[in-house]
Structure 1
Amino acid sequence: MASPHPALAQRLREAFVWACELDVAARKPGNVSIASPGHGMDAAHFVASAPAAAAALCEPGAPVGRRIEAAVAATWAVVQCNTNLGIVLLCAPLAAAAERWVPARGEAGLRTALAAVLRGLDVDDARAAYRAIARAHPAGLGRVAQQDVHAEPSLDLRAAMELAAERDLVARQYAADFADVFATGVATFRAALAHTADPVAALQRTYLEFLAAQPDSHIVRKHGAEAAQCVMREALAWRQRARAGECVDADPAFPAWDESLKRRALNPGTCADLCVATAMAAAIVDGVDKLRVNP
């Protein structure tokens, strides 16, 4: 395959950085945003992480595993904490897929290219991703019987992710060709953007859709399934109001819920990671300039 054009690499970097900045611009209850720090971090950590990781993540022609490992290393060099492991794990295959994608084929073409990237992952990708995960050391990372990240992998990265798909939403994307990112995330984001013309509000709406749909696996790892189910139940009414077109941010109870989750140390970080992947996928297909304009 020919090397991607430098202009494409720049477009991918812009899409990734924009998605990361949009993520913290939107109040996402329990998660860090410009409006509300939490969990020992603030928005500045995430804003600094995005350009630090972007060059490695979007390195033309690089294998997915190398993108992941280098992006995590670059992030740690700047902020010395784990701000974006899940984001990088999701966005690295998207960046690789975009290099194979034919823009005239639209979203369907990007999904086809992504499926091919995921099928082509190998053991070297798994080794590099495992090293990145071990370095980032996400909260609640335990031990498992098969393909534990603390050991040398013997399977390719997709096969290893398939083993974790039932307990981890990021792993599930690898196993299911990013079905949640596109069918739930991009579809919700586009519909909300058409209604509000505001990408921040559209991403907030997308976050509520993810949060109310399934237990957040970051919360499950740290606090157990019941805590994650509780947060999911709390999100249902907010999702319903957002679906009805309400600006939930205008209700003082919404930031109060945000602060309540943070007081309980409940961070739906995986749902936030899915939002970044959603925004990046939409930006790849539609272009950042089209999405960032807020009439």
Structure 2
Amino acid sequence: MGEADVPSFPPRRIEAAFLKACRAEIAAIKPGNVHIHAAGHGMDAATFERAALACAPVIADPSLSVGARILQATRLSFSAAGCNANLGIVLLAAPLAKAAQGVSEPRLDALRDGLRDVLATLSPDDAADAFAAIAHASPGGLGARADHDVREVPTIGLLEAMALAAETDRIARQFVSGFEDIFEIGLPACRIEPKSLFDHPDLGPAFKVYLSFAGGFADSHIIRKFGASTAETTRKRFADFVARITHLGDAESVRTAALAFDRDLKAEGLNPGTSADLTVATLFARFMLRSAT
């Protein structure tokens, strides 16, 4: 194979980008969510490191379908972490990785177009595998449906199943919107200044992306566990926090304020877990594109 024939996104680069995204997200202070600066909700940073290491090779395996990646990665992650540490991340990362492996040029528009193609061609087997993965992980707040419950053999495709949940579940919404939140909210947030926050090791792009999601919409994880009203109140608290830190003079003051907000949310059991999952997916796309250039 000549140099011109080397794929833009070989498996080793996809695996490396996935691990880098997981580690960058866990290294940043994310109020309410687990990070290296504070554990929470019965988990710590090591839990997520084990989960990421276990499933990274499967996420990057070009021989696997989207559904097979989701199911195998979820099983390996659950076994390594002893809990559901990253189901949402896996659900988002599997189609992103599959899409990257189908494009010839490492461009954002090519990745987005490739992702639309992947989502449009999801098979009934993908649905069966994804249903099995969700049932295996049994995420917090997962209820039962009268029809198309994930604990039953699906009779509809994965995209159709996600459409049923898209109104209240932000992960499901990505499947029917072409990962709109990643491309329209997450990736643009990576470019927002000031540079002092962007470069701070405890804040950085992951901090800014996370806040853009947590302050932009009611978090699905909080909706499932506490209801829509609490989720919307939490979103407003994040929006207020973002407005407040814009007036702080330096990154260290932002760091102090973020840790205080983090303690408050964790004391109340509030975890914007979906916002964290979307943050990893955003960083995964960003790092894949950067590693291929």
- Whether the aligned pair in 2 keeps the contact of 1:103 and 1:285 (CA below 8 Å) is no
Task: Measure the CA separation in 1 of the matches of 2:194 and 2:63.
Answer: 32
Single out whichever of 48-57 and 12-21 deviates more from structure 2: 48-57
1:145 to 1:21, Cα distance in 2 relative to 1, 3 A: same
- Whether the aligned pair in 2 keeps the contact of 1:248 and 1:254 (CA below 8 Å) is no
Task: Measure the CA separation in 2 of the matches of 1:226 and 1:248.
Answer: 32
Task: Measure the CA separation in 2 of the matches of 1:58 and 1:245.
Answer: 41
Matched, 1:128 2:123: no
Aligned to 1:144: 145
Single out whichever of 54-63 and 236-245 deviates more from structure 2: 236-245
Matched, 1:220 2:206: no
Deviation at 1:97, TM superposition (A): 0.3
- Whether the aligned pair in 2 keeps the contact of 1:164 and 1:172 (CA below 8 Å) is yes
1:226 to 1:7, Cα distance in 2 relative to 1, 3 A: closer
Deviation at 1:250, TM superposition (A): 2.4
Task: Measure the CA separation in 2 of the matches of 1:59 and 1:150.
Answer: 26
* 1:257 equivalent among 255, 261, 286: 261
Computed over aligned residues only, the root mean square deviation of the Cα atoms, in angstroms, reads 2.2
Deviation at 1:273, TM superposition (A): 0.1
Task: Measure the CA separation in 2 of the matches of 1:21 and 1:97.
Answer: 22
Q: Deviations over 1:11-42 (max 9, x none)?
A: 00000000000111001000000001000000
Matched, 1:280 2:284: yes
Task: Measure the CA separation in 1 of the matches of 2:24 and 2:125.
Answer: 32
Aligned residues: 286
Task: Measure the CA separation in 2 of the matches of 1:129 and 1:96.
Answer: 15
Please list, as runs of the form range in 1=range in 2, the aligned pairs for 1:107-122 lying within 5 A after superposition.
Answer: 107-122=108-123
Q: Identity rate of aligned residues, in percent?
A: 40
Q: Deviations over 1:209-249 (max 9, x none)?
A: 11111100000000111111111111112223556786566
Task: Measure the CA separation in 1 of the matches of 2:274 and 2:228.
Answer: 14
- Whether the aligned pair in 2 keeps the contact of 1:162 and 1:172 (CA below 8 Å) is yes
* 1:237 equivalent among 211, 236, 240: 240
Please list, as runs of the form range in 1=range in 2, the aligned pairs for 1:62-211 lying within 5 A after superposition.
Answer: 62-104=64-106, 106-192=107-193, 196-197=198-199, 200-211=203-214
- Whether the aligned pair in 2 keeps the contact of 1:16 and 1:54 (CA below 8 Å) is yes
Aligned-partner SS, 2:229 = helix
Aligned-partner SS, 1:191 = coil
Aligned to 1:293: none
- Whether the aligned pair in 2 keeps the contact of 1:49 and 1:78 (CA below 8 Å) is yes
Task: Measure the CA separation in 2 of the matches of 1:180 and 1:23.
Answer: 17
Task: Measure the CA separation in 2 of the matches of 1:136 and 1:170.
Answer: 15
Deviation at 1:101, TM superposition (A): 1.6
**Which sections of structure 2, spanning at least 5 residues, go unmatched?**
1-5
Task: Measure the CA separation in 1 of the matches of 2:186 and 2:250.
Answer: 19
Give TM-score scaled by structure 2 length.
Answer: 0.91
- Whether the aligned pair in 1 keeps the contact of 2:25 and 2:206 (CA below 8 Å) is yes
Single out whichever of 146-155 and 25-34 deviates more from structure 2: 146-155
- Whether the aligned pair in 2 keeps the contact of 1:192 and 1:205 (CA below 8 Å) is no
Aligned to 2:61: 59
Q: Which amino acid aligns with 1:62?
A: L
Deviation at 1:171, TM superposition (A): 0.2
1:109 to 1:203, Cα distance in 2 relative to 1, 3 A: same
Single out whichever of 169-178 and 71-80 deviates more from structure 2: 71-80
Task: Measure the CA separation in 2 of the matches of 1:8 and 1:142.
Answer: 38
- Whether the aligned pair in 1 keeps the contact of 2:9 and 2:101 (CA below 8 Å) is no
- Whether the aligned pair in 2 keeps the contact of 1:82 and 1:136 (CA below 8 Å) is yes
1:253 to 1:191, Cα distance in 2 relative to 1, 3 A: closer
Task: Measure the CA separation in 2 of the matches of 1:245 and 1:176.
Answer: 36
Deviation at 1:96, TM superposition (A): 0.2
1:194 to 1:187, Cα distance in 2 relative to 1, 3 A: farther
Aligned to 2:274: 270
1:231 to 1:71, Cα distance in 2 relative to 1, 3 A: same
Task: Measure the CA separation in 1 of the matches of 2:252 and 2:233.
Answer: 21
* 1:18 equivalent among 17, 20, 24: 20
Single out whichever of 140-149 and 64-73 deviates more from structure 2: 140-149
